[in-house]
């Protein structure tokens, strides 16, 4: 066949004219198609992320509860244990909400929320056990 642009004689299965570069056949691989397809995943990852402040607060609360627990242990302060227990319960609640938000709405801090939940449960569990042991010790003494 002949090129419709420059008129040079080219092979029938040619997609582009070797002389002038004009597209003469209907090629299956169009160079312009590939970059458009590559842009699509970028648009998907650019979804607006939901903030997850509750999950972060839960993690911070769990860390603070551990801190109060350690200080309470060193100072042998029952009051600090109670503060630590309250913070631990707050950490469990906030972390559970944060974990739920993270998994349902693709929000950040999923790992932090899980950590906060685990630490909160451990602090509360140990505090309750120590509280029961403390009560038992008191009942033995008096």
Q: How far is the CB of 20 from Zn ion (least distance, A)?
A: 3
Q: What is the SS3 assignment for 13-81?
A: CCCECCCCCCECCCCCCCCCHHHHHHHHHHHHHCCCCCCCHHHHHHHHHHHHHHHHHHHHHHHCCHHHH
CB nearer to Zn ion: give 7 or 111: 7
Question: Is residue 4 close enough to count as binding Zn ion by CB under 5 A?
Answer: no
Question: Is residue 1 close enough to count as binding Zn ion by CB under 5 A?
Answer: no
Question: Is residue 17 close enough to count as binding Zn ion by CB under 5 A?
Answer: yes
Q: How far is the CB of 22 from Zn ion (least distance, A)?
A: 5
Beta bridge partners of 2: 9
Question: Is residue 66 close enough to count as binding Zn ion by CB under 5 A?
Answer: no
Cα–chain center distance at 24: 51
C-alpha to C-alpha distance for 70 and 81, rounded to whole angstroms: 9
Stretch that binds Zn ion, among 10-18, 34-42, 46-54, 61-69 (CB under 5 A): 10-18
Of 127, 67, 69, 63, the C-alpha closest to 95 is: 63
C-alpha to C-alpha distance for 107 and 46, rounded to whole angstroms: 13
Stretch that binds Zn ion, among 12-20, 26-34, 101-109, 114-122 (CB under 5 A): 12-20
Question: Is residue 15 close enough to count as binding Zn ion by CB under 5 A?
Answer: no
Question: Is residue 67 close enough to count as binding Zn ion by CB under 5 A?
Answer: no
Residues that bind Zn ion (CB under 5 A): 3, 5-6, 17, 19-20, 22
């Amino acid at each position: 066949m002949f090129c419709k642009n420059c008129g040079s004689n080219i092979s029938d299965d040619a997609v582009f004219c070797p002389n002038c570069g004009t597209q003469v056949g209907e090629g299956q691989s169009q160079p312009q198609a590939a970059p458009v397809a590559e842009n699509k995943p970028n648009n998907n990852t650019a979804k607006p992320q939901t903030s997850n402040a509750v999950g972060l607060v839960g993690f911070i609360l769990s860390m603070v509860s551990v801190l109060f627990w350690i200080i309470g242990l060193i100072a042998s302060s029952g009051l600090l244990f109670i503060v630590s227990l309250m913070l631990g319960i707050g950490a469990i609640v906030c972390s559970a909400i944060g974990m739920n938000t993270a998994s349902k709405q693709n929000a950040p801090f999923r790992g932090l929320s899980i950590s906060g939940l685990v630490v909160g449960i451990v602090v509360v569990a140990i505090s309750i056990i120590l509280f029961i042991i403390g009560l038992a010790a008191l009942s033995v003494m008096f």
